[in-house]
A and B are shown apart, each in its own frame.
Chain A
Amino acid sequence: MVDVRLRGLVKRFGKTIALRGIDLDIRDGEFIVLLGPSGCGKTTTLRIIAGLEKPDEGRVLFGEKDVTYLPPKDRNVSMVFQSYAVWPHMKVRDNIAFPLKIRGVPQEEIDKRVKWAAELLQIDELLDRYPHQLSGGQRQRVAVARAIVIEPDVLLMDEPLSNLDALLRVKMRSELKKLQRRIGVTTIYVTHDQVEAMTMGDRIAVMNAGKIQQVGTPEEIYLKPANTFVAGFVGSPQMNFFDATVKLDGEKLLDAGEFTISLTGDLAAALKDYNNKTVIVGIRPEYMYPRELAPKNMIGPEIKGVIDFVEALGSDTIIHLKVGNKHLVIKISGSHHYRIGEELTVIFGLDKIHIFDKNTGRAII
């Protein structure tokens, strides 16, 4: 087991730049998730850690050891591929045993280790089958068993659940997480699925356009997004964003045109450099309430609008509210019914708003 440190990784493919300087410290035994849209560089980062690609600049450190230019075999890593990459011509047993055979482990030891890995993944009944006789979920277990059988220092997973059906995916999430806790291996997990990231990761590194946008626990990522990208990428439905002008002379408020938000002392102090400038205000749909449903003693800004569209999802209801030229999305419990065309006043806590610099996108508070 080791900690993994990435220092200034840059990777180009021809003219396109895949990574623009990646710095990341991964603790020993940690489950870290690289989260981002496709093409953000998360898989490239993983492949560099695996040793499948060499970075053009930067270094990869396993503990104190610089492994940047070491081939995969000298890193003691293992990887679970999106396609599982289970070899079709080998029985499950031989698939799992392969990395041990390559390392010249004695047969007795191989049998023991294969049995151990197979039992952990509950595929010990399938050892003598060929991959084509297995379901997708079972093949995935074989891939994971093959990855942990060598007790790697670092376990890498590239979207391992994306080819499973929705039900199985939910089940495997918790299983993989439990498995990782049990064997305590440093795990780097790539996904574009924010729910997967939030439920599995000890920490999440959100990536976009070849850069890490924010690293933090799922709570930090959700509650304190560092910039508009993270704020918009994590959370469903997406956070509401609108432009507003900061007015600090006279009554201190955010002027969004159709409505204003009065500022308390702390907020006003935080925004003192932005007087008369435009900022981006963000508020999550789940923190806006129709006034009649709001917690009793809630005080905060109120916005009045007309209901444009209602999505009844069963457990939740998503209301699309038109406020002048602005469009707000509100998420409430599914037990309440609203009609299109109705007027609605929503209220939200001032402590739940996010304010971002309009130019840099960075969070001000």
Chain B
Amino acid sequence: MRWNLVYSIVVIVVLGIIWIFPVYSLILGSIKSLSEVMNTPIYVPPKQVDLTTIAEVANELKIPLANTAIVVIPVAVLSTIFGMLAAYAIIRRQSKISDTLMLLVAIATYTPYQALLVPFVQIVRSFGLYNTLPGIALGFLIYYTPMAALLMVIFMSVIPRDLIEAAVVDGAGEFSIFRRVVLPVLGPGIVSTLIFILIVSWNNFFIPLILTRGYNKFITLKIFSYVGQSGTFYNRMFAAALVGSLPPLIIFIFLGRYFMKGLMALGTGTKA
């Protein structure tokens, strides 16, 4: 066997174990009975599968899960739509104004939103939305709309200009070009943006933390609440973490290539 394959297999296997170990423990830990949790390390497989904890925790997570879905799905859809519209404007008009707006969009995307804590709270409060689901959604939209716009510009910039201009010559107006030509051609780019924002907003902890009180309005807050209250019963924490991560994890497993495309676009500024 050639040495480079040996290297490759060694690296992938060794690091692969480190990469899989936490999730492996997470799954095993959440299906252990209480007595095994008390007596065995996290990585020891249970002698008997005990689903009571998972069921119990899942029941406790119902409301935060529903709340999160209510916030995150509209946020992903809206920011993608707003981003698409903005990106179309930028692609269809090349001037100083659109360049400047584009630069501002890019800077906004890469600016740490955590630094905007105080004003975020202030803005959401001034709309009377503090400690509400729409408040969390507003916080998300402020941050994820520019990001969606940037992603969409990146995906749109590879559409051949002729495709759009052919529609212009044929007499189509801007809305009709957008709807009939750009949107259908953009397909996978839209899915990437949607999936990407869906996953990152589902996983966001900071924005719901600062915009709400208590733990029930968002899933990451709820998961976090188990850290304090479960003591050494790691099965409860693990069950909460597992159940709370299932939606993004399942999306990642089945539609991971779209998430990767989104990451890649944000990273390199080009369509992978």
Bound-state CA distance A156–B170 (Å) is 12
Residues on B with C-beta less than 8 A from A146 are 166, 170
Categorize the interface residue count of chain A.
20 to 34
Complex interface: stretch among A73-81, A175-183, A184-192, A288-296: A73-81
Q: Which residue of A lies closest to B168 (CB)?
A: A72
* A 75-119 contacts with B by CB, 8 A: 77-79, 81-85, 87-90, 98-99, 102-103
* B 155-182 contacts with A by CB, 8 A: 160, 162-163, 165-173, 176, 180-181
Q: Are A85 and B171 in contact (CB under 8 A)?
A: no
Q: Are A102 and B172 in contact (CB under 8 A)?
A: yes
Residues on A with C-beta less than 8 A from B184 are 87, 89-90
Distance in Å: Cβ of B188 to nearest Cβ of chain A: 12
Q: Which residue of A lies closest to B187 (CB)?
A: A89
Scoring B residues 38 to 74 as 1 if CB is less than 8 Å from chain A, else 0, what string do you get? 0000000000000000000000000000000000000
Q: Are A85 and B185 in contact (CB under 8 A)?
A: no
Distance in Å: Cβ of A77 to nearest Cβ of chain B: 6
Q: Does A52 sit at the interface, judged by CB under 8 A?
A: yes
Contact of B162 among A51, A85, A150 (CB under 8 A): A85
Residues on B with C-beta less than 8 A from A71 are 168
Q: Are B185 and A99 in contact (CB under 8 A)?
A: no
Q: Does A198 sit at the interface, judged by CB under 8 A?
A: no
Scoring A residues 154 to 188 as 1 if CB is less than 8 Å from chain B, else 0, what string do you get? 00100000000000000000000000000000000
Distance in Å: Cβ of A61 to nearest Cβ of chain B: 19
Interface residue count on the B side (C-beta < 8 Å): 18
Distance in Å: Cβ of A161 to nearest Cβ of chain B: 16
Distance in Å: Cβ of B118 to nearest Cβ of chain A: 43
Q: Which residue of B lies closest to A81 (CB)?
A: B162
Residues on B with C-beta less than 8 A from A87 are 163, 166-167, 181, 184-185
* B 169-223 contacts with A by CB, 8 A: 169-173, 176, 180-181, 184-185, 187
Residues on B with C-beta less than 8 A from A98 are 167, 170, 172, 180
Q: Are B162 and A52 in contact (CB under 8 A)?
A: no
Bound-state CA distance A85–B168 (Å) is 12
Residues on A with C-beta less than 8 A from B163 are 85, 87
Q: Are A72 and B171 in contact (CB under 8 A)?
A: yes
Q: Are B166 and A85 in contact (CB under 8 A)?
A: yes
Distance in Å: Cβ of A94 to nearest Cβ of chain B: 9
Residues on B with C-beta less than 8 A from A318 are none
Q: Are A85 and B172 in contact (CB under 8 A)?
A: no
Bound-state CA distance A78–B187 (Å) is 27
Contact of A102 among B162, B176, B187 (CB under 8 A): B176
Q: Are B169 and A77 in contact (CB under 8 A)?
A: yes
Contact of A79 among B166, B180, B181 (CB under 8 A): B166
Q: Are B172 and A73 in contact (CB under 8 A)?
A: yes
Bound-state CA distance A51–B185 (Å) is 24
Q: Does A148 sit at the interface, judged by CB under 8 A?
A: no
Q: Are B168 and A52 in contact (CB under 8 A)?
A: yes
Bound-state CA distance A150–B169 (Å) is 12
Bound-state CA distance A50–B169 (Å) is 7
Residues on B with C-beta less than 8 A from A82 are 162
Distance in Å: Cβ of A50 to nearest Cβ of chain B: 5
Evaluate whether A81 and B185 lie within 8 angstroms (CB atoms) in the complex, with A73-B172, A102-B171 already known.
Answer: no
Bound-state CA distance A90–B172 (Å) is 15
Residues on A with C-beta less than 8 A from B165 are 52, 79, 81, 85
Bound-state CA distance A89–B186 (Å) is 10
Bound-state CA distance A87–B182 (Å) is 10
Q: Are A103 and B162 in contact (CB under 8 A)?
A: no
Q: Are A52 and B169 in contact (CB under 8 A)?
A: yes
Residues on A with C-beta less than 8 A from B173 are 73
Q: Are B170 and A99 in contact (CB under 8 A)?
A: yes
Residues on A with C-beta less than 8 A from B187 are 89
Q: Which residue of A lies closest to B177 (CB)?
A: A102
Distance in Å: Cβ of B256 to nearest Cβ of chain A: 25
Distance in Å: Cβ of B98 to nearest Cβ of chain A: 16
Bound-state CA distance A277–B184 (Å) is 66
Distance in Å: Cβ of B175 to nearest Cβ of chain A: 11
Q: Are A72 and B169 in contact (CB under 8 A)?
A: yes
Distance in Å: Cβ of B94 to nearest Cβ of chain A: 11
Bound-state CA distance A77–B171 (Å) is 9
Q: Are B170 and A51 in contact (CB under 8 A)?
A: no
Distance in Å: Cβ of B135 to nearest Cβ of chain A: 39
Bound-state CA distance A98–B171 (Å) is 10
Residues on A with C-beta less than 8 A from B167 are 87, 98
15 other A-B residue contacts (CB within 8 Å) besides A78-B169, A89-B185? A71-B168, A72-B169, A72-B171, A77-B169, A79-B169, A81-B165, A83-B160, A84-B162, A85-B162, A87-B163, A98-B172, A98-B180, A99-B170, A150-B170, A156-B169
Sort A-B residue pairs by CB-CB distance and give the 4 closest, nearest first. A73-B171, A85-B166, A85-B162, A99-B170
Q: List 14 A-B contacts (CB under 8 A).
A: A51-B168, A51-B169, A73-B172, A73-B173, A79-B169, A81-B162, A82-B162, A83-B162, A85-B162, A85-B163, A85-B165, A85-B166, A87-B167, A146-B170
Residue numbers of B with Cβ under 8 A of A are: 160, 162-163, 165-173, 176, 180-181, 184-185, 187
